[in-house]
Amino acid sequence: MEVHNPADGRIVGAVADTDPSQVEAAVARLRSEQPAWAALAPAERVEWLLRLQDWIFANSADIADLMQAETAKPRVDAEIEPMFVAEVIGYYAENAARFLAAEHPRPHSPANMSKKLAVTYHPYPVVGVITPWNYPLALPGIDAVPALLAGAAVVIKPSEATPLSAMELARGWAEIGAPPVLEVITGRGATGAAVVDAVDFVQFTGSTRTGKAVGHACVDRMIPYSLELGGKDPALVLADADLDRAARGIAFGGMLNAGQMCTSIERVYVVDAVYDEFVQRLVAIVAELRMGVDDREFRYDIGPLVDSAQVEIVRRHTDEAVAAGARVVVGGAATGQGNFFEPTVLVDTDHSMSCLAEETFGPTLPIVRVADEDEAVRLANDSAYGLSATVWTGDRARGERVASRLEAGTVNINDAHVNLFNLAVPMGGWKQSGVGARFGGAYGIRKYCRTRAVTVDRLPVAKSPSELLWFPYSRRKAGLALGMMRALRARGLRARIGRH
C-alpha cells in the first residue's frame, strides 16, 4: 500500500497490505512468546519499556520527520507524539508493579471473616490494538505500553493512511533487543477484522461505525473489548467567563491537529450576554492561525486534513449550514491545495444542521447563541455522542456544578484537551463515544488482565470435616445458617430474630 503526503499527494512510503490469512500466524507467534514475557517480574518488563523510552527520546526528531511525511502535521504536533508515548511509559513504569500486585480486600460480611481473600491479575495473552490516522504514533503507543507492562503480547494494526509512524514502535522494540512480543501488522479494514478474529482483547480507537462492527465481532467470540470512538464535544461559554482565555482555549480545542481529534470542540454554546464579544475575540484568533506545510521550524499551527474524503465531509457540513441560514465569519472553504481546509467559524447555526449533528473532524467551530446556562446544558446534552466537554466560567464551583449535569466522559473546566495529559483519570466516552476507557490509574493497566479470586482460611487451624451448608441438609443446620444471614442483614431487632 502506498502512503501519501496529504499536503501535496507525493508518495512517502509503501507497506505491506497484509492478507488477513497471515494475521493468524502472526498472532500465533506472539501467543507462543507471551508466556515467557508474562513470567518476567514487572520490574523486568518495566526495564524493557524504559529502554524503549530511551530509544524514543534518542530518535524523536526522526520519528517526527516521518510522521510529518505521512500526515503533514505542524512540527509541534509531530514532536509531541513521541514525547507523549514516553510520558505514558514513565507513568506506568513507575506504577505498574503496584497496580498489578495482588489485592487482599476485607471480606464483605462478618460471616466470611475466617477467609483470607486475594485478587490476582493475569494478562490476556494477545491484545490487538487497532488505531486511526490522526495520532499515528501516540494512539498505538499509549495503548500498547500498559498492555505490554501487564504481560500481554501486542499486535498493532494502524490505519492504512498512516502506518509508518506505528512501524517505528516495532523498529524501536526490535533495535533495543526486546523479547518478540510486539508486532505491527499493516493492512486495510479486512486486516483489522482479522486481528479482531485472532486476539484475546481488542483495544479499538476509531469511528463509531467501525467500533460497532468490532464490538459485534468481539461479542461473537466472547472476548472483551474497549472502544474509543467519535465525539462531538461541546464548549459552554457562560456569562462570567474570562472571554480572552475562553476564545484562545476554544480556538485551540477546536483547531488542534486541524480539528482531527476525537476530543475536538465541535459545538460552541455561548450565552447571549457575552455572545458578540466572544465571537469577535474568537474570530480574531482563528483568523490569525497559520496554515501550511511545516518543516522543523515550528512555523505553522494548522496542517491539512488526512485525505480528500475528510475534506469533503468538512465542505459538506459547512455548505449545508450556509444553505440553511448559517454565516461563515472566517474561513469556510478548501484552499484547493492538497487537503487543506481553512480554519472556519460559523454563526447562526442550530441543531437541524449537519455541522452540529454529525462528527466533522475538521477545523470548523459552529457557534450557537443560548439564553442561559440551562439552555447551554440542554443543547450540549442533545447529542448521540458523549466523549468530552469544556465549560468556561469565572466561578469554579459553578463550573463543577455544570460539569455534573453534562453527559460526557470528561469535562475540562477552563481548559481544553488537558485531561489527555492526566493519566490518573480515565479517558472514555459515554453514549455513542465508546465502551470502557484508556488510562485511569490502575484501571488503565488492569483492563488488560483477567482477574482471579482466591479464598483460603485465614488461620491454619484444623478444620471440621464439613461446613454448615454442605450436605446432608437438615432443619437444624439450615435454621442456623439462615438465621445467621437474617440476623446480619435484616433491619430492626424483631426482623433480625424472625418476628414480623
Binding site for ligand NDP (CB under 6 A): 130-134, 157-161, 188-189, 192-193, 196, 205-207, 210, 213-214, 228-231, 262, 359, 361, 387, 429, 434
Q: Cell numbers at residue 159, please?
A: 490505519
Cell numbers standing for residue 488: 446480619
Question: Of 206 and 224, which has the nearer Cβ to ligand NDP?
Answer: 206
| Nearest distance from C-beta of residue 177 to ligand NDP, angstroms | 28
Question: For ligand NDP, which is the closer residue by CB, 199 or 270?
Answer: 199
Q: Give the containing element (helix H, strand E) for 27.
A: helix 20-39
C-alpha 165/C-alpha 135 separation (Å) is 9
**Of residues 160 and 301, the one with the C-beta less far from ligand NDP:** 160
The CA distance from 418 to 355, in Å, is: 24
Burial class (CB in 10 A: 0-12, 13-18, 19+), 131: buried
Closest CA to 362 of 300, 323, 317: 317
The residues, any chain, with a CB within 8 Å of residue 333's CB and separated by 6 or more, are 315, 318, 341, 342
Rg (CA), the chain: 26
* One-letter amino acid for residue 303 of the chain: G
* Per-residue cell: 249: 482555549
User: What one-character-per-residue DSSP string does 47-65 give?
Assistant: HHHHHHHHHHHHHHHHHHH
Nearer to ligand NDP, 34 or 419 (CB): 419
Nearer to ligand NDP, 92 or 439 (CB): 439
> Least distance from C-beta 269 to ligand NDP, angstroms?
20
List C-alpha distances in Å: 411 to 228, 355, 372, 386, 417: 16, 22, 19, 10, 9
d(CA 205, CA 134): 10
Residues with Cβ within 8 Å of 180's Cβ and at least 6 positions away in sequence, in order, are 29, 30, 33, 174
**DSSP code of residue 436:** S
Considering the complex, state which of residue 250 and residue 387 has its C-beta at the smaller distance from ligand NDP. Answer: 387
Q: How far apart are CA 89 and CA 178, in angstroms?
A: 15
State the pairing for strand pair 201-205/385-386: unpaired
Cβ neighbours of residue 314 under 8 Å, at least 6 residues apart?
259, 305, 334, 341, 344, 360, 361, 362, 363, 364
Residue 407, SS3?
coil
CA nearest neighbour of 74 among 256, 312, 287: 256
* For ligand NDP, the closer CB: 123 or 231: 231
Nearer to ligand NDP, 316 or 401 (CB): 316
How many residues belong to the chain? 500
In the bound state, the residue with its beta carbon closest to ligand NDP is 192
Task: State the minimum distance, in angstroms, from the CB of residue 409 to ligand NDP.
Answer: 9
Q: How far is CA 385 from CA 71, 162, 389, 406, 451, in A?
A: 26, 26, 11, 11, 31
Give dist(CA 104, CA 348) in Å, integer: 57
Minimum CB separation of residue 435 from ligand NDP in Å reads 11
Active site residues: 228, 262
Q: Nearer Cβ to ligand NDP, position 190 or 488?
A: 190
